[in-house]
Structure 1
Amino acid sequence: MTEPKKKTINDNMRRTCFFCSEIIEGKKTQEHIIPDSLLGKLGIKEETITGKGVFQYSRVKVPAHKDCNSNFGSEYENEILKLLDEPEKLFEEIKKEESGISIIYSPDNSSTSLISTWLSKIYYGLFYNDYLKIDDLEHKETSEKIINTDNFRMIQNAYKDGVGFCLPSSLYVFKSDKDFFDLRTFVYPKMIMIKIKNWFSFWQ
């Protein structure tokens, strides 16, 4: 992992916006990394995500400007929730799109673009949350290596400019016979796996 040209880490991370990396001068909001409404639909608000830390899914949050939270976190994720309401349709849409290449796109464009941008937010958001809240020094250093990179800075700029995920990546989607929620993150390679209902995806 290369050292970033502009560092994400500063002395006031609890008042640094996850989406734009600028200091929050006024009132800050807390952005749910996994949408609260999705947690409610799945009935897992009080269930825990375990790793070096143990957090209820509903408590995995990062600081954000009110506008950044609203523009990306709320309005954008409404589109994601609509897609996830019909996993069979989403699966077919992504299959149809797999032969195309999006050079630049906005959050209201293809399903592949939407899901890739959303999964990037969850991946980096989980490590951002861990960096802020976990005392284990080794894991804190690992989290810093993930978020204190040019890759994350580029993604933050894409969030800020409203153009969606902007790095080369791979998105794989499968159907599953089992209906449950699961989530896993990996450091080497950088990857997230998520299982929602009978829809299973991993992004790297």
Structure 2
Amino acid sequence: MRLNFIYFNFDKSQLIKNLNKVDIKEFLEDNLKKINSKCFICFCDLGSDNLSKEHIIPKWLFKKFNQTNGEIKLGNSSNLKYQRLTIPACKDCNNGLLSEIEQDFKLILEENFTNLTFEDELTIAQWTLKVMLGTILKETILDKDIRNRGEKILSFEEIQKLIPLFILLQSVKYETKFENGKPWSLFITTFDSEDYDYQSHSFFKSASFKFGKIGFTITFDDSGYYKKAITNEFKFTNLSHKQFIVLAYSFFSLRSNELKDLTAHKEITSNILLIKNKKLFFKPKILLDKNFLTKYNHLIEIYQKRSNVNS
């Protein structure tokens, strides 16, 4: 079976038609259950002749920002070095499609995310999804407790909630028609320091990257709502590292309240920031300058307006 065209209605966040009349949701669910022996892009069977490993955080990135010993925290509170954060992929996808995405993304980064076309934004979205969903799939492979093998960090039932994002990732391989605008909101941000950082919450469909003094926050499956609500004049610029984390978690909290079955009531710890649930949003326990606080509160107002429209 081979798909060659995917057609989305993003207002409904689901596939509604493709040329071969294939149920892409069922196709993905069937293959994601066997991801340890499948390529996570094309889902072909992997064997000794075509098996390779895709670095979820690409080598060029952690070398560029001196993150060779960098780590990511997994769902079982363990840390995994970027070097070991890999996912099975076939050689064709790894050396072809994924390599092309990496090269295109590097060029966009080198241009500091300026003058972005729709195709550029799609590349950023695809690259981010590769990182977010690759990490999620890694957690379905790794044991939750190495002393008690069998139970994985994440179950297949949990990642089923992310099927819309897995469908969007298939745009790497298949021609995709977009209706009703972009299925994401993308915000380019600037910073006052040169370090690298990455914050994401796949189940809240948002991620933030800091590549030195330039970066972005992206939130998926919102029909571009937040980007439409926040005008082009409303920009996050010259942020401190703490403000970067506040901004990332602001989007996590806003999106969590849109996903009623996933709304968090536990405390979330992220390095230097502790955030607690406060009614409509997580209120950062951190002092913010007046300019940034104004923008942060504007995000809250946008969320409240959207909630009133959807209620």
Alignment map for 1:38-187 (pairs within 5 Å): 38-51=61-74, 52=76, 53-87=78-112, 90=113, 92-94=114-116, 97=117, 102=118, 110-135=119-144, 137=151, 139-141=153-155, 145-146=158-159, 149-161=162-174, 168-187=183-202
Give the whole-Å Cα distance in 1 for the aligned partners of 2:138 and 2:109.
24
How many pairs are equivalent?
185
SS at match of 1:31: strand
Deviation at 1:174, TM superposition (A): 0.8
Amino acid at match of 2:174: D
Give the alignment's TM-score, normalised by structure 2: 0.53
CA change 1:138–1:18 in 2 (3 A) is closer
Deviation at 1:43, TM superposition (A): 0.9
2:35 aligns to what? Answer: 13
Give the alignment's TM-score, normalised by structure 1: 0.77
Amino acid at match of 1:155: L
Give the whole-Å Cα distance in 2 for the aligned partners of 1:195 and 1:128.
23
SS at match of 1:171: strand
CA change 1:185–1:146 in 2 (3 A) is farther
Answering whether residue 33 of structure 2 is matched by residue 33 of structure 1, we say no
Give the whole-Å Cα distance in 1 for the aligned partners of 2:55 and 2:90.
13
Structure 2: gaps (5+ residues): 1-12, 15-24, 146-150, 220-311
CA change 1:159–1:111 in 2 (3 A) is closer
Give the whole-Å Cα distance in 2 for the aligned partners of 1:147 and 1:45.
32
Worse-superposed segment, 132-141 or 67-76: 132-141
Deviation at 1:203, TM superposition (A): 1.4
Alpha-carbon RMSD across the aligned residues, in angstroms, is: 2.9
Whether the 8 Å contact between 1:158 and 1:165 is mirrored in structure 2 is no
1:106 aligns to what? Answer: none
CA change 1:138–1:128 in 2 (3 A) is closer
Deviation at 1:18, TM superposition (A): 0.9
How many percent of aligned residue pairs carry the same amino acid?
Answer: 22
Answering whether residue 214 of structure 2 is matched by residue 199 of structure 1, we say yes
Give the whole-Å Cα distance in 2 for the aligned partners of 1:144 and 1:40.
35
Deviation at 1:138, TM superposition (A): 7.7
Rg (Cα) greater in structure: 2
Whether the 8 Å contact between 1:28 and 1:64 is mirrored in structure 2 is yes
Whether the 8 Å contact between 2:51 and 2:88 is mirrored in structure 1 is yes
Answer 1 or 2: which has greater strand percent. 2
